[in-house]
Structure formats: C-alpha cells, structure tokens
Chains A and B, each alone.
Chain A
Amino acid sequence: MLSVQAGDQLDHYSIDTLVARSGMASIFRGTDLRTGRQVAIKIPHPEMESDPLFFDRFRREEEIGKTLDHPGVMKVIGDEDRSRLYMVMEWVDGRLLREIMSDLGKLPAERATRIAMHICQVLEYIHKHGIVHRDLKPDNIMVGDGDCVKLIDFGIAAKSGSRRLTFTKLSQVMGTAEYISPEQVKGKRGDARSDLYALGIMLYEMLTGQTPFSGANAFLIMNDRLLNNPVPPREVEPSVSPQLQEIIYRALERDPKSRYGSAHEFAWDLEHQDQVGVADRLELRDWKQRRTPWARRVLFYAMLALIPVVIFGLLLLVAKHT
C-alpha cells in the first residue's frame, strides 16, 4: 500500500495538508468533496497496517468514536466503502494540551481547574457509557475556545493482554508510563477510576509544570508511584491552594477505593474548592523518603549479614558470664 501525500485524493476526500505524524499514523487535514466540509483523516503508515495490535487499536478507536456523541469527544465519521484502512474525523480547531503546556510551562490555577472540570464532564459521559479511556494524557486532549476540551485516541486495545509483546510496545498495551494508574502498573485492566488518576496527574502537571513521578526509564517511572509519594504540589508551586493540593491527593490515591469514585465527585470538588476539607496527610510529611526496590533488597541482605554477628555477640556474652 503506497503512502498518501498532500494533494492526493482518497475516495471522496481530498488530502490537503499534513497536520501531524507519529510513529504509527499520519493525520491530514482534508475536505469531504461531497459536502465541502473540513475533516481530519488519520492514515496508518503502510507498515503498521499489518500489525494486529495496531489494527485492533485503530478499529476500537473508530468504533468508540462512532458510538459516542458528545461535544467533548472527537466524532468519527462512519463511512461506506473505503479503498484502504483510514479513519475520518471531524475537524477541530484547537491545540493539544501538550502544546499549551510546552509553551506556557505552568498554567494559572483558574485555567488548570477549568480545563480539568471540562475533562471531568467528558469523562462522566464516557464512563456512563461504559467506556474507559485508559490512556488519558495531554497528548490526547484538544483544547479549543473557552478551554473546551475534546478527547481523542480511544485506542488502547481491549484484549491486548492475551498477546505476547516486547517491552517497546508497553504504552500500546498499558498506557503511558507517566500517567498510568497504580492498579494498571500491577497488571490490572483498570476502570473509570484509572482515568481519574490520570486526570489527577495532569492537574498536577498543569499546576507545577512537571509530572509527579519520574525515573530513568518507563519501568522505573511506573514503579515509582507504587513506592513513593510525589513532591507536594505546593512545594513546587507555592501559589497552589491547599484545597487544590488536597484534590490532587484525592485523585492520586494509590488504592482506587480511596480515590474519587466518579468524575462527578472530582468535578464537584473542583467547582466547590472552598468546601474541600484539607486533611493532614502522611504524604505531606514523608515525601522526602525515597524508596527504591533495590533499597529493600539491600536491607534484606544487610539483615541476613547481621544474623551471624548477633549470634557471635550472644555467644560472647554467654562466654563472659560462664
């Protein structure tokens, strides 16, 4: 299958300009020649079309896009016969949240709250329809006029666990390391609360300009959230209110049962921050203690090494007394 370029025509769509190009697909701005309407056309790279994992992901994204009807979800235009694999979506004027954050670094608290509330509204809608995004991150959120948001990329494959994969495909199966929830790190599929965790990470990032968990590689970044507490948002950015910090902590609870139960609860707290009770959290005190998996092993071996020393000491004590 030949790759498509700007100026080509694909069925009844003209390909106008290349908008974005990722490792898996190219997104073009195009025109529906029947209606004159602007559309976004996502065309997988020829070599990706034969990848079953990518194919599953692509098809799932298309199906979900057709099912959902909400201003906060990018609409996928279902179409008749197509000469090849591609997806047509409504054209959205706006910028990716990632681009906005890259330009501005940190966002003012009011704006970050507004964007998070809009995301909550969309999440409430998709969760009610039984759909979990599972890969929520600033790269998958378009921000338009009035900070209205549109979620894109619903592609995490539904049955990906049954197939064996190499580590390079981690993000295609589990989600992105920085935004993944602790239960997903532990190999669970995750539910609506996993999306709320990802939103908590994004809110932290919007306010402070950095993600809460870090590491040298994806494996360490993922595991960091199981072992350590993030630097309190107010330590990084003192202008963050204690209430907003508390909201972030509630969203970032390690145990999903302690987290916000629904996007509605999350949105309510964001809207009524003055009514949020600030808890005296352990995370605020022990965030400086950094634990690594290796530290636990070192401790274990140190304890083992201590055993003969203790025995020798006891023997010495007994010898002295007899």
Chain B
Amino acid sequence: MLDLEFAQLSDPGRVRGHNEDYLGTVVPATATEARTHGWLFALADGVGGQERGEVASRTAIESVLSGFRDAPRGEPLSALLSRLLQSANGRVLDAGMSAAAGGVNMATTMVACALRFDRAVVAHAGDSRCYLIRKGQASVLTRDHTLVNEQVRLGILSAKEASTAVTKHLLTRSLGTNMSVNVDIGEHQVFPGDVLMLCSDGLHGAVEANDFTRFLTPGCDLELAVRDLVYLASHNDGSDNISVLAARVRNVECVGMYRGRPYKLR
C-alpha cells in the first residue's frame, strides 16, 4: 500500500504582517481509501492585497480538499485534479465578485499533488512549485506561469535578464482571474525514498535548489528539514510569505492497468 510521511510549515516572513499562503492535505483514513482516493497535498499563494489574498488561497484550498474527499471512487487523478482546480477557480472568482459591489480583484496560485498506488499527479496554475527530490537530485516538476518565464521560454529574454526583471512576479495564470483557467497537469511515477516538495515563491525565490537536497536528505527528520528551509528562506530574503510542504514516499503499491482498472503487480 502507498504510504507517506509529510511535514508542512507556513511562515509570514519578516516583512509582511499577514500570511496569504494556505496549505491543505487529505490523508486517507484506511487502506481502502488510499486505493480509491489516495493522498492529496495542496498549496496556494493568494494575490490581491489587503486580506483578499488570504481569502482567495483559503477558498481555493478548501474547495479542492472537499472536492477530493467527495470524488467518486477510483476517478483518474489527472481528470480529478483538473476538475477540482477549475471548480476552485470558480469559487475564488465568485468570492471576488461577491466581496464588494462591482467585485474585487482576488486571485491565487495553486499547486496540488495527488498520489495513489505508485503515481503522483501534479496540477498547478501560477508560480508555486512542486519539486521531486530523488537520489540527492532536486528537479522541478512545474513550470512557473509568469510573464518573464513565458518570455524566456520563447527565447525573448535570457535567464539573466529574467532574474532582474521588475515583472518577474507578474502571473500569466492564476485561479480567480478569469471564468476558466488553463491548468498544467503532469503524471510521474514515484519510488520509495522520493520526496515531493510543494513550495510558494517565498521559498523558491530565496533558496537555491541545491539547498533543498542539502536539507531533505534520505533519512532526515522532515519536520526539522522543513523548519530549516523556512528559516533559511526567511534569513536570505523574508520579504514574502514562505510555505513548504514535504512528503516522503515510504512505500508504494505497484499496479498495472487493465481496461481502466488497476491490478496489483508483484
């Protein structure tokens, strides 16, 4: 059976008085639930100033968590996450529209990682990231939806120019901005010992990827590692909210698919 351990921490940073990041998890209560629904980890980073960012990120996470718990048994994770993020987008948009006469601008990024058997499905919109740390190597599974990143991808901007651009925080995709959102979804096989790490830009903007592997070592205490990472990000920058969620795969259940149904592999 798929078995995980995880740790999470969210910190407002050294400058901001409030925290616009929000984290959420769904842990299966039974072995059957781990097979029919799986695990879910989600992180959202609100945008909008005042307290709107907080409302947006919390609304989005709560929508995704409740949707995941109520999902039909065995629904494919990529289809499920796509549906849940679209639904969360609608909820945030509605919350913005009903917040004041004429509506207010309220949006959030979102990165969600759902795991079942030996598969991890990562869905995201915005610049919150998901990293996979395997055998001492950290690789990013998501692509930032920011203006400069799109320009780098198209060869218009160099990576150096992008790092100093004043527009590097301008999001091209987020939940709550439009009626629908284009969500990126990726499916990955996981192995025992892998660590999946979700983080907001407060962390990945202040800490190098090498440091992730330095703290998230194979036998480390996740709680401690997460605390150290947040401390390091706060020490290096600290101008933004810092959130991190790390989940280590203890055991997986290898399955094959036959006519859309999983069967156990030995």
What residues make up the interface of A, taking CB atoms closer than 8 Å to B? 45-47, 50-53, 160-170, 173-174, 185-189, 219, 223, 226-227, 293-294, 296-297
Which residues of B sit under 8 angstroms from A185, Cβ to Cβ? 156
- Is B172 an interface position by the 8 A CB rule? yes
Cβ B167 vs Cβ A162 within 8 A: no
A165 & B103 in contact (Cβ 8 Å cutoff): no
Contact: A161 with B167, CB < 8 Å? yes
A174 to B240, CA, bound (A): 21
* Neighbouring A residues of B148 by C-beta, 8 Å: 187
The one of A53, A167, A187 in contact with B49, judged by C-beta atoms closer than 8 angstroms, is: A53
A293 and B170 contact, CB distance less than 8 A: no
CB of B171 within 8 Å of the partner chain: yes
* Residues of chain B in range 132-187 having any CB-CB distance to chain A below 8 Å: 147-148, 150-151, 154-157, 161-162, 164-174, 177
Contacting A227 at CB < 8 Å: which of B156, B172, B201? B156
B-side contacts of A293, CB under 8 Å:
154-156
Q: Are B102 and A47 in contact (CB under 8 A)?
A: yes
**Given that A165-B47, A189-B166 are known contacts, is A46 also in contact with B100, CB under 8 Å in the complex?**
yes
Partner of B105, one of A45, A166, A174, A296: A166
Q: List 10 A-B contacts (CB under 8 A).
A: A47-B103, A50-B104, A52-B50, A165-B171, A166-B47, A166-B171, A173-B166, A185-B156, A186-B151, A187-B147
CB-based nearest A residue for B166 = A161
Of chain B, the residue at the smallest CB distance from A168 is: B177
- B95 → A minimal CB distance (Å): 14
> Smallest Cβ distance from A224 to chain B, in angstroms?
10
Contact of A186 (CB < 8 Å), options: B150, B157, B174: B157
Asked whether A186 lies within 8 Å of B50 as measured between CB atoms, the reply is: no
A295 CB to closest chain B CB (Å) equals: 10
Q: What B residues does A165 contact at CB under 8 A?
A: 47, 169-171
In the complex, are the beta carbons of A187 and B162 less than 8 A apart? Answer: yes
Q: Interface size class for chain B?
A: 35 or more
Query: Which residues of B are in contact with A by a Cβ distance under 8 Å?
Result: 45, 47, 49-50, 100-105, 107, 127, 147-148, 150-151, 154-157, 161-162, 164-174, 177, 201, 239-240
B90 to chain A, nearest CB (A): 16
Contacts A47-B102, A173-B167 given; 16 further ones with Cβ under 8 A?
A: A51-B50, A52-B49, A161-B165, A161-B167, A164-B47, A164-B127, A166-B47, A166-B105, A170-B170, A174-B170, A186-B151, A186-B165, A187-B157, A187-B164, A223-B154, A296-B155
B24 to chain A, nearest CB (A): 20
Quick check: B239 and A162 within 8 Å, CB to CB? yes
Q: How far is the CA of A148 from the CA of B172 in the complex (A)?
A: 40
Interface centre among A162, A166, A227, A297 (most CB of B within 10 A): A166
Which 5 residue pairs spanning A and B have beta carbons closest together?
A: A187-B165, A161-B166, A293-B154, A164-B169, A52-B49
Q: Are A174 and B169 in contact (CB under 8 A)?
A: no
Q: Contact: A223 with B49, CB < 8 Å?
A: no
Chain B hits for A45, CB < 8 A: 102
A120 to chain B, nearest CB (A): 27
Chain B residues with CB under 8 Å of A226's CB are 156
CA distance A59 to B139 in the complex (A): 44
A174–B166 Cα gap in the complex (Å)? 9
- A188-B105 Cα distance, complex, nearest whole Å: 25
Contacts of B174 in A (CB 8 A): 166
B100 adjacent to A186 (CB under 8 Å): no
Cα separation A247 to B137 with both chains bound (whole Å): 55
Are B169 and A161 in contact (CB-based, < 8 A)? yes
Q: Give the CA-CA distance A188 to B107 in the complex, in Å.
A: 25
Q: Once bound together, how far apart are the Cα atoms of A167 and B126, in whole Å?
A: 11
CB distance from B50 to the nearest CB of A (A): 5
Say whether A166 contacts B177, CB under 8 Å: yes
**B-side contacts of A296, CB under 8 Å:** 154-155
Closest A residue to B148 by CB, please name it: A187
User: How far does the alpha carbon of A165 sit from the alpha carbon of B156 in the complex, in Å?
Assistant: 21
A167: B residues at CB distance < 8 A:
147, 170-173, 177
Among B45, B50, B150, B165, point to the contact of A188 (Cβ < 8 A): B165
Q: Are A50 and B150 in contact (CB under 8 A)?
A: no
A47: which of B104, B155, B165, B173 is its contact (CB, 8 Å)? B104
